[in-house]
Amino acid sequence: MSIFTESIHTLQGAATSLSAFEGKTILAVNVASKCGLTPQYTGLEALQEKYAANGFTVVGFPCNQFGAQEPGSAEEIETFCSTTYGVTFPMMEKIDVNGDTRHPIYSALTSVADAEGHSGDIRWNFEKFLIAPSGAITRFSPMVGPDDETLVAAIEASLNA
């Protein structure tokens, strides 16, 4: 199985997979509504708006494994994201990104090391994985904001490859 064929549900409950975005540059982010990093939604939406027409999409994966900072139902998460941050990018069902119940998509993603050499478990909400159309994955720390020059340069390089 590839990262693109693992099944998952959208936040609305529809069955899908990342194959729906195959051929695009994807920024996969584990998100939470009650985290100090939650304002990153603003920057993620800005990336979506700026690059969507060029074959880019953010994909959010709500997760409640870090300080129980995503306790809401799918409906509550959707309402919060759309009304508070104007999120238009696809959101998947709430999943686990660490541990025995880690979603298979995150099993593949967490094998990749970031610039500091960290691989394995997700450290906190808003860890980012840039998935190029080729399938190459680049990992970014939760503290790397959506407007970080390194992340933006990697997105642009992927879109221009």
Catalytic sites, residue numbers: 35
Cα(53)–Cα(33) distance, integer angstroms: 27
Sign of CA dihedral 131, 133, 135, 137: negative
Measured at the alpha carbon of residue 118, what is the angle toward residues 116 and 121, in degrees to the nearest 5?
Answer: 155
Does residue 100 contact residue 61 with C-beta atoms inside 8 Å?
A: no
